[in-house]
């Protein structure tokens, strides 16, 4: 029987190291090796303000992630947010997109509240109803300076 | 001679020595790197050195990695729980391990275990004239001694780093989830939210450069050792001290480059 040589031990070491790299990058670092394929569609929404929102953040319906923000641009002094939504999620054309934060100080994300209409938004369409993020500073200011009725 | 002149002479000699030493180390590395593309390729030596630098350090890395992750989770958990932000335990432990502690502690462990041994081994070969013997047999000592170590360092350090991060994250899991009662989904889910491929690449670049630094300094110190047993012991000490200090200094500057 051949002796368990240095080559095999070094081989095991290298494979173990690479497996750890694979674990870290795929499982923890969400690097997508296989691609999501073409199972998303694009919708746009116009917000008066997108303070705190970044590209690649989640889009949620009832707290469940259904897509990602792919692009944020400025058009006519309003923010245009392009979103990728999973194909199996249908959006009604009276749904409302709002920008929320996780907890009081957490990251901003887009929350979509479903509507009641029978007409769904086609790929490439627009979400008409939007709500800008809650401005906590303005809110506290209003409260402190007595603008609240 | 007046004491003032002596002071200037000491400072001057020190500065000239430091500059000369830096230059000699640079020339040494340049010569070694220049020789890498040319045959003979001693793959057997490279594998032997990976076994020495990498494989035999794995146990140390497993132990230090697990306990680093555990103690990190323990310390941070109590700080975070004062703000009610325990859910951020995972990302803090994982990012600290991936970006800083993994590469740096791995490099320090390899310096202590393998760097000292490399310097001593090459130093003893120098004083017992074995390097001259290699020269006489038309075997380039750089090819036979230095390059396999350099390549083995470049290959081993990142692999050790990944093993360290892996066991560290699970060590943090053991404390955070097992001991402190955080939910498993919170721990891993929040890690997934915060760790980017850029963070992993930062750790990779660091460990690659540490692999070069450690083997470079250790081989240099061993190759140009002094006379006798005292010379070897001196260069071994210098190799460890200089590698450790350089690792931490280089880590700061590399971080500032990569973060910017």
Give B51 to chain A, closest Cα distance, Å. Answer: 6
Domain assignment present for residue B69? The answer is yes
HSE at residue B132, side-chain half, CA atoms within 13 A, is 5
Which pair of tokens denotes residue A30?
Answer: 């969400």
H helices within A39-112, ranges in order? none
A31 touches chain B (CB under 8 A): yes
Beta strands in chain B (DSSP E): none
B187-230 per-position pLDDT tens digit: 888 888 788 888 888 999 999 999 999 999 999 999 998 888 89
Q: What is the DSSP letter of B61?
A: H
pLDDT value at position B63? 95
| Residues of A with Cβ-Cβ distance to B47 under 8 angstroms | 6-7, 10
Give the tens place of pLDDT for each residue, A81-136: 888 888 888 888 888 888 887 766 667 788 888 888 888 888 888 888 888 777 77
pTM: 0.77
pLDDT in tens, B88-118: 888 999 999 999 999 999 999 999 999 999 9
Q: Which residues of chain B neighbour A28 with C-beta distances below 8 Å?
A: 94, 169, 188, 191-192, 195
Q: What is the pLDDT of residues B21-62, one digit of tens each?
A: 999 999 999 999 998 888 888 888 899 999 999 899 999 999
| Domain locations along chain A | 8-37, 40-133
ipTM for the assembly:
0.77
Both ends of chain B: CA-CA distance in Å? Answer: 51
- Boundaries of domain holding B244: 45-259
pLDDT confidence bin for A2, thresholds 50/70/90:
low
Q: Quote the minimal CA–CA distance from B55 to chain A in Å.
A: 6
Question: Is B34 inside a domain boundary?
Answer: no
Q: Which residue has tokens 């603008």?
A: A147
Q: How far is B12 from chain A (nearest CA, A)?
A: 47
CA B51 to chain centroid:
16
Residues of B in contact with A29 (CB under 8 A): 192, 195-197, 199-200
State the average pLDDT over residues B142-157. Answer: 92
Say if CB A83 and CB A68 are below 8 A apart. Answer: yes
Place A37 in a pLDDT band, splitting at 50, 70 and 90.
Answer: low
Interface test with A, best of B152, B166, B194, B197 (most A CBs within 10 A): B166
Q: pLDDT band for position A9 (50/70/90)? A: confident
**Residue A30 has what pLDDT?**
62
pLDDT band at A148; cut points 50, 70, 90 = low
Number of domains chain B contains? 1
Q: Distance between CA A6 and CA A114 in Å, rounded?
A: 62
Structure-model confidence comparison of residues B46 and A50, the more confident one: B46
Per-residue tokens: B46? 């490279």
With contact defined as beta carbons under 8 Å apart, do B245 and B140 qualify? no
């Amino acid at each position: 029987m051949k002796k368990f040589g240095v080559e095999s031990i070094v081989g095991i070491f290298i494979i173990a190291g690479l497996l750890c790299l694979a674990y870290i990058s795929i499982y923890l670092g969400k690097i997508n090796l296989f691609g999501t394929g073409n199972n998303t569609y694009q919708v746009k929404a116009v917000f008066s303000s997108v303070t705190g929102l970044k590209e690649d953040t989640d889009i949620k319906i009832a707290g469940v992630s259904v897509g990602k923000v792919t692009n944020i641009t400025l058009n006519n002094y309003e923010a245009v947010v392009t979103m990728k939504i999973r194909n199996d999620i249908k959006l009604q054309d009276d749904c409302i997109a709002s920008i929320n934060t996780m907890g009081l100080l957490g990251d901003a994300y887009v929350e979509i509240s479903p509507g009641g209409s029978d007409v769904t938004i086609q790929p490439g369409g627009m979400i008409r109803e939007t709500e800008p993020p809650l401005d906590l500073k303005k809110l506290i200011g209003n409260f402190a300076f007595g603008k609240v009725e | 001679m007046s004491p003032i002149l002596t002071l200037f002479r000491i400072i001057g000699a020190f500065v000239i020595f430091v500059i000369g030493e830096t230059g000699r180390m640079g020339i040494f590395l340049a010569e070694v790197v220049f020789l890498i593309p040319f045959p003979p390729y001693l793959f057997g030596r490279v594998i032997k050195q990976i076994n020495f630098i990498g494989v035999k350090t794995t146990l140390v890395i497993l132990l230090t990695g697990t306990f680093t992750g555990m103690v990190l989770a323990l310390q941070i958990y109590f700080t975070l729980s004062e703000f009610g932000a325990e859910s951020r335990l995972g990302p803090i432990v994982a990012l600290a391990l991936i970006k800083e502690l993994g590469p740096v502690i791995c490099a320090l462990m390899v310096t202590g275990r393998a760097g000292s041994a490399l310097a001593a081994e090459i130093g003893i070969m120098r004083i017992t004239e074995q390097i001259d013997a290699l020269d006489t047999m038309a075997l380039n000592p750089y090819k036979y001694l230095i390059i396999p170590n350099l390549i083995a360092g470049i290959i081993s350090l990142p692999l050790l780093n990944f093993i360290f991060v892996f066991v560290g994250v699970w060590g943090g899991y053991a404390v955070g989830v097992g001991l402190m009662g955080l939910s498993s989904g919170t721990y891993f889910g929040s890690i997934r939210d915060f760790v980017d491929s850029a963070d992993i690449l930062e750790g990779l670049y660091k460990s690659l450069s540490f692999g070069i630094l450690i083997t470079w300094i250790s081989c240099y110190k061993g190759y140009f050792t002094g006379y006798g047993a005292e010379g070897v012991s001196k260069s071994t000490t210098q190799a460890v001290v200089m590698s450790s200090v350089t690792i931490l200094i280089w880590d700061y500057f590399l971080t500032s480059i990569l973060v910017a």
